[in-house]
């Protein structure tokens, strides 16, 4: 379970690093975020929800059946949009209105 | 080493569900100065970091708090504290309303009433439950929050707590915190046993891997009486993603089936431990793998499930999307996790009275570290945070603690300095010893490897090996304060492991399959073991204490 951070997109705001419940994300000397302990990621996606430039993706490790898809979220008012990019380029978007409850 | 001394009226250790709510409650009823120390950042710390998609403890219309007590007592086969369960249950609905006022979205019908799921659950959008709680606490004038400060030990003198010691992992600071009273509200203990997927995804586990049992370990070391560490919690989860199954079982009524398609859950019983045990047994007898039968659910249910999991365990939704099959097209494979110690689900933790006072004066416990009161979930943790807060406000009126002993502070600082210096390093890494601990617990103390089963001889081996690892941990080396935290976390877990082993060994029966499956005593023994197994650390040894059950209508009080 881990994340990858796009260094080119990262603006060095440090929000991901602040929020990580495992203190796993650090800023390098150029103030770019990186995950220092990738095996220790819980997969909570807190960092992804914080990133203002959508530079962070999470993926499932191959040891738990991951097939290389990358996930991130984008915020649009009350909508939290989950965007899943499969390795074949196929994109799935799922909108969740945060003002609406789960039905189950 | 940089040191900082802080004085506060009330120290809250752990800014999770119980800790945040305790701070909020104190602020509403008192001007006392509160300090919350949180090892991560309260916005997304602990078990609710990714969110939660239901409130599992609520008294629905037509039910009473006593019904909830009865449910929890039955699920734990009598080994619960009814006085604690009742005082918690009486507050479940008021804390739920408060949570809604703070901003949590709860599903309501056209008449404005909460929509319930079964007898005890409410449907919510809980993705942002932790930011909501954090925001409520952040604006309070009498509350200070120290993020990324990991408390490593209490300061206790003559069985009276007067503060704690901590390390700031981002500012390389050693904290000496003096407090008149302390609420311990840390999480349970993950990472004691080898996890389901010990490789790259070792932390893809049910409970947050960052909850390492600090609250238990500090209490054990300080000589607090602890209870029911033998009632381990093993979660039945979706395979690989270790995502929760309740939404499938209760939300869309998915039954547990084996590979022959037979519904097996009715064969073993429906308590939490029986659901795990049944799955283990079906696999052992050659009818695995086991599944939750979701095939055939409606497209609308598919869509709702995919969204519900994004609000709590997004990896499961990813799994469905990656496979190109929705839950209606494929059953969800399930498995048991490695065992955890977690008082919010089972009954392990501090031995407390109804005020949530521990046996150490001035120390109160709430949430996952408070024992005797299982099935708390989110709302129960809030309720206990509230009870502990009200008790502490009352306590500090008549009591003042002594200053922290300088010698004790020096001792703790020099211990930290020793780990940071290379001089006494043995060459082993914290990671190596952590893996060794998990292997020992897995092999000899009823881990996944042995289908959660153990016997006394194995437990003796486990204890000897864990003691050996404790000695080896003296020689660990940390390059920085984060690595220093890892050393303390490992040592906490080793301490908790020893208590788990001692408790498992003391209960000469098998009351809960899988949770405590003692092969030397495979049957339940109501004649001798309708009792709590408690323990206290005295002169380097864990002393086991058997206590009579506190039943309905009774209320336990500490006698000092």
Q: Is B146 on the interface with A (CB under 8 A)?
A: no
B402 lies in the same domain as B509? no
**Residue B217 within a domain:** yes
- What percentage of chain B reaches a pLDDT higher than 70? 100
CATH code at B298? 3.90.700.10
**Residue B554 within a domain:** no
Among A19, A71, A102, whose Cβ lies nearest the Cβ of B124? Answer: A102
User: Which of A49, A102, A103 to mutate: most B Cβ within 10 Å?
Assistant: A102
Are A64 and B107 within 8 A, CB to CB?
Answer: no
**Residue B86 within a domain:** no
Are B307 and A102 within 8 A, CB to CB?
Answer: yes
Give residue B446's pLDDT: 98
B370 lies in the same domain as B483? no
B403 lies in the same domain as B486? no
Q: Which of B284, B304, B336 is the last residue of a domain?
A: B336
Rounded Cα distance, B492 and B473, in Å: 11
B359 lies in the same domain as B454? no
Among B40, B123, B314, whose Cβ lies nearest the Cβ of A104? Answer: B123
Shortest distance between the Cα of B433 and any Cα of chain A, in A, equals: 16
pLDDT digit string, tens, across residues B81-125: 999 999 999 999 999 999 999 999 999 999 999 999 888 999 999
- DSSP three-state, residue B533: strand
- In chain B, residues with a C-beta closer than 8 Å to the C-beta of A92 are 321
Please give the residue of chain B at the shortest CA–CA distance from A92. Answer: B321
pLDDT digit string, tens, across residues A4-35: 999 999 999 999 999 999 999 999 999 999 99
Rounded average pLDDT over B256-283? 94
Give residue B560's pLDDT: 56
B420 lies in the same domain as B391? no
- DSSP three-state, residue B383: helix
B419 lies in the same domain as B444? yes
Residue listed under structure tokens 């993705």? B127
B20 lies in the same domain as B169? yes
- Residue B53: band (very low, low, confident or very high) from pLDDT cuts 50, 70, 90: confident
Rounded Cα distance, B152 and B215, in Å: 9
B222 lies in the same domain as B242? no
Rounded Cα distance, B34 and B11, in Å: 6
Rounded average pLDDT over B489-505? 98
Are B252 and A104 within 8 A, CB to CB?
Answer: yes
Average pLDDT of chain B to the nearest whole number: 96
Q: Which of B357, B376, B407 is the last residue of a domain?
A: B407
Residue-number span of the structural domain to which B392 is assigned: 2-48+132-233+339-407
Residue listed under structure tokens 């965007």? A83
B473 lies in the same domain as B516? yes
Are A20 and B314 within 8 A, CB to CB?
Answer: no
| Burial of A103: CB neighbours in 10 Å, binned 0-12, 13-18, 19+ | middle
| Domain count within chain B | 3
pTM over cut 0.80: yes
Give residue B117's pLDDT: 84
B437 lies in the same domain as B473? yes
Are A86 and B54 within 8 A, CB to CB?
Answer: no
Rounded average pLDDT over B321-350? 97
Whether residue B343 has pLDDT greater than 80:
yes
**Residue B95 within a domain:** no
Rounded average pLDDT over B10-29? 98
- Residue B425: band (very low, low, confident or very high) from pLDDT cuts 50, 70, 90: confident
Q: Which of B384, B407, B430 is the last residue of a domain?
A: B407
B319 lies in the same domain as B256? yes
Rounded average pLDDT over B526-546? 97
Q: Is B52 on the interface with A (CB under 8 A)?
A: no
Rounded average pLDDT over B292-300? 96
Give residue A1's pLDDT: 62
Whether residue A103 has pLDDT greater than 90:
no
User: Which of B16, B39, B49 to mutate: most A Cβ within 10 Å?
Assistant: B49
Rounded average pLDDT over B387-394? 98
Shortest distance between the Cα of B124 and any Cα of chain A, in A, equals: 5
pLDDT digit string, tens, across residues B120-129: 999 999 999 9
Please give the residue of chain A at the shortest CA–CA distance from B52. Answer: A102
Rounded average pLDDT over B521-535? 98
Rounded average pLDDT over B49-73? 95
Q: How many Å from the N-terminal Cα to the C-terminal Cα in chain B?
A: 39
B215 lies in the same domain as B147? yes
Question: Which CATH number among 2.40.400.10, 3.20.10.10, 3.30.70.20, 3.40.1280.10 corresponds to the domain A2-97?
Answer: 3.30.70.20
Residue (of B187, B185, B174) closest to B481 by Cα position: B174
- Residue B555: band (very low, low, confident or very high) from pLDDT cuts 50, 70, 90: very high
Give residue B247's pLDDT: 87
């Amino acid at each position: 379970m881990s994340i990858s951070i796009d260094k080119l997109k990262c603006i060095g705001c440090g929000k991901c690093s602040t929020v990580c419940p495992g203190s796993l994300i650090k800023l390098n000397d150029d103030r770019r975020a990186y995950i220092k302990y990738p095996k220790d990621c819980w997969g909570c996606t807190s960092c992804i929800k914080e990133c203002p430039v959508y530079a962070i993706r999470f993926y499932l490790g191959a040891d738990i059946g991951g097939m290389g898809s990358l996930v991130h979220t984008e915020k649009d008012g009350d909508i939290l949009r989950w965007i899943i990019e499969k390795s074949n380029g196929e994109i799935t978007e799922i909108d969740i209105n945060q003002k609406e409850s789960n039905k189950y | 080493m940089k040191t900082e001394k802080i004085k506060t009226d009330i120290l809250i250790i752990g800014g999770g569900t119980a800790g945040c709510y305790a701070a909020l409650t104190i602020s509403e009823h008192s001007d006392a100065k509160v300090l919350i120390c949180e090892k991560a950042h309260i916005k997304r710390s602990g078990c609710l970091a990714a969110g939660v998609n239901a409130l599992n403890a609520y008294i629905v219309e037509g039910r009473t708090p006593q019904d909830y007590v009865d449910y929890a007592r039955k699920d734990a086969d009598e080994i619960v504290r009814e006085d604690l369960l009742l005082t918690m249950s009486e507050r479940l609905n008021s804390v739920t309303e408060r949570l809604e006022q703070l901003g949590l979205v709860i599903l309501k019908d056209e008449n404005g009433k909460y929509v319930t799921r079964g007898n005890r659950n409410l449907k919510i959008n809980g993705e942002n439950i932790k930011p909501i709680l954090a925001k409520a606490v952040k604006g309070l004038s009498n509350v200070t929050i120290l993020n990324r400060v990991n408390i490593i030990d209490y300061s206790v003198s003559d069985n009276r707590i007067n503060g704690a010691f901590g390390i700031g992992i981002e500012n390389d600071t050693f904290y000496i915190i003096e407090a008149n009273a302390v609420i311990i509200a840390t999480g349970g203990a993950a990472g004691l046993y080898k996890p389901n997927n010990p490789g790259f995804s070792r932390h893809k586990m049910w409970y947050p891997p960052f909850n390492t049992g600090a609250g238990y370990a500090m209490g054990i070391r300080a000589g607090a009486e602890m209870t029911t560490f033998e009632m381990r919690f093993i979660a039945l989860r979706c395979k690989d993603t270790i995502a929760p199954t309740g939404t499938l079982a209760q939300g869309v009524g998915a039954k547990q089936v084996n590979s022959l398609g037979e519904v097996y859950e009715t064969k073993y019983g429906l308590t939490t431990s029986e659901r795990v045990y049944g799955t283990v047994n079906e696999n052992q007898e050659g009818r695995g793998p086991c599944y939750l039968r979701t095939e055939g659910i409606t497209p609308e249910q598919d869509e709702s499930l995919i969204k519900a999991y994004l609000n709590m365990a997004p990896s499961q939704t990813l799994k469905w999307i990656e496979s190109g099959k929705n839950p209606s097209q494929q059953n969800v494979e399930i498995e048991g996790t490695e065992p955890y110690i977690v008082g919010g689900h089972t009954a392990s933790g501090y031995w407390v009275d109804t005020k949530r006072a521990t046996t150490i004066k001035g120390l109160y416990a709430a949430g996952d570290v408070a024992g005797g009161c299982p099935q708390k979930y989110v709302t129960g943790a809030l309720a206990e945070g509230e009870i502990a807060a009200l008790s502490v406000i009352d306590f500090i009126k008549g009591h003042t603690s002594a200053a922290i002993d300088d010698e004790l502070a020096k001792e703790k600082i020099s211990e930290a300095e020793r780990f940071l210096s290379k001089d006494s390093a043995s060459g082993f890494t914290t990671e190596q010893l952590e893996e060794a601990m998990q292997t020992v617990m897995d092999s000899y103390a009823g881990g996944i490897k042995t289908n959660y089963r153990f016997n006394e001889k194995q437990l003796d081996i486990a204890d000897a090996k864990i003691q050996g690892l404790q000695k080896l941990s003296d020689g660990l080396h940390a390059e920085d304060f984060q690595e220093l935290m890892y050393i303390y976390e490992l040592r906490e877990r080793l301490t908790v492991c020893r208590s788990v082993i001692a408790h498992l060994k003391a209960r000469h029966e098998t009351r809960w399959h899988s949770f405590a499956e003692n092969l030397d005593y495979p049957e339940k023994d109501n004649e001798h073991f309708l009792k709590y197994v408690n323990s206290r650390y005295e002169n380097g040894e864990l002393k086991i204490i058997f206590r009579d059950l506190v039943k309905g209508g009774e209320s336990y009080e500490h006698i000092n």
